[in-house]
Amino acid sequence: MDDVPVYLWPPQLEPMLRPLVLVASAALLFIGCTNDLEINDDYADHTIIYGLLNQRDSVHLVKINKAFLGEGSAYDMALVQDSNEYRNEAISYAKVFRLDASGNAIDSFPLHDTIITDRGSGEFYSPVQKLSYFTTPFVQRIPNIATGSRMYLHQDQTYRLHLRVNGKDITSTCPIVNDFSIDPVDQDTGSTFGSRVNLMNAQGTDYGSYEFNWKSKQDCKRFVVSFRFRYDEVTGTDTVRTSFTQFLGKQVSTNSQVFQDLAVTMGGQLFFSGLSTYIRANPEWTSVNKRIFRGLDFLVSVANDDFHTYLTLTEPISGIIEDRPAYSNIDGALGIWGSRYTKNVVGKRLGGSTLTQLVQGPYTADLHFCSALDAGGAFSCN
């Protein structure tokens, strides 16, 4: 019992709770002090499954585990591999099927086992764990994507998981998040005009904001947008390429079957104050030390309806109501069989007054920035 935390009520609640304690104590007298209190029920086989499909991936991982129950510390049992994983003979059938619009299977992919040997330590067993995986062939190439345009899943079809674990059938069906379109101005990173990120007004005298826009597509429910600031840190003859990523905003489509125009906004002052918090000035730097701005990237991650619901019900609680319903979209098991998608815009430049603010502004002037994207300009690193 040493590993089980004990929670006591606040002292101000003691007068209200004392009568309840007395009633409970009296009731225990009728039970008898020789009977043992059985906390655990009989063991039942509960399968836990996590699988997220991404049409950019050719290899898809599925985690198949079991719930465990026993006497003693749950933390100690979690560190035992046999508590979490099925033996090989327990899973007699494991396939993923591609379905057409009528729900008929038109292709199948067997699940195989693989061993991961570099899992980080934590509350569960490590560094070895068993995962299942299946592979899918190249399907198509999506144009106008800066990186990773090869697709390996059919985005207009669904994929069904079918397992048989200890004689029990487990199934779930998942639609694939579609590729979506980013506004051409926000997508374009090569044009000199109209594509730069402007976070100052035209005169450079006050902070402004930049709006990043896109249009949702089928089965796109939750969008999470971050930005990545890339730069080189030059100290003498050493150059270290580095970056940091910051959450920018979240948008949820009201209907994942209807295309919608969505956007998030980046505030100028918050952007520059964030830079000064993440990147520290070094008072010992001389003129040979500098930071070379390499570009601003926008990173968009998308979840389908089921994955969005799962994320919503597992987010940290911020209100006074702590009870949440358990969620699973798998028949015969618990967990999530969902899809996600990622799309990035890489190499955005800063507008003229915004670049001036980066190099000379009050938040970042002591960070020694210049730009690698504006050759021959006033703040070029050349």
Provide the domain limits for residue 123: 47-176
332 part of a folded domain: no
When pLDDT is averaged across residues 235-257 and rounded to a whole number, the result is 93
Categorise residue 8: left if φ over 0, alpha if ψ from -120 to 50, beta otherwise: beta
Between CA 230 and CA 6 the distance in angstroms is 46
- Cβ atoms < 10 Å from Cβ of 213: 16
Residue 10 has pLDDT above 80, yes or no: no
The 10s digit of each residue's pLDDT in 337-358 is 999 999 999 999 999 999 999 9
- CATH number, domain with residue 251: 2.60.40
What's the first-to-final CA gap in the chain, in angstroms?
65
Whether 144 and 160 share a structural domain: yes
Count of structural domains, the chain: 2
Between CA 266 and CA 354 the distance in angstroms is 13
Q: Which of 146, 176, 206 is the last residue of a domain?
A: 176
- Cβ atoms < 10 Å from Cβ of 358: 26
Judge contact between 2 and 76, C-beta under 8 A. Answer: no
Whether 57 and 167 share a structural domain: yes
The 10s digit of each residue's pLDDT in 143-154 is 655 445 789 999
The 10s digit of each residue's pLDDT in 187-206 is 877 655 457 999 999 888 99
Residue 308 has pLDDT above 80, yes or no: yes
- Cβ atoms < 10 Å from Cβ of 19: 9
188 part of a folded domain: yes
Q: Residues near 210 by Cβ (< 8 Å), separated by ≥ 6?
A: 197, 198, 199, 265, 266, 268
Whether 154 and 189 share a structural domain: no
333 part of a folded domain: no
Average pLDDT, the chain: 85
Between CA 264 and CA 366 the distance in angstroms is 29
Residue 36 has pLDDT above 60, yes or no: no
Between CA 4 and CA 111 the distance in angstroms is 38
When pLDDT is averaged across residues 56-84 and rounded to a whole number, the result is 85
Q: Which of 143, 176, 209 is the last residue of a domain?
A: 176
Whether 188 and 107 share a structural domain: no
Handedness of CA 300, 303, 308, 312 (dihedral sign): negative
**Whole-prediction pTM:** 0.83
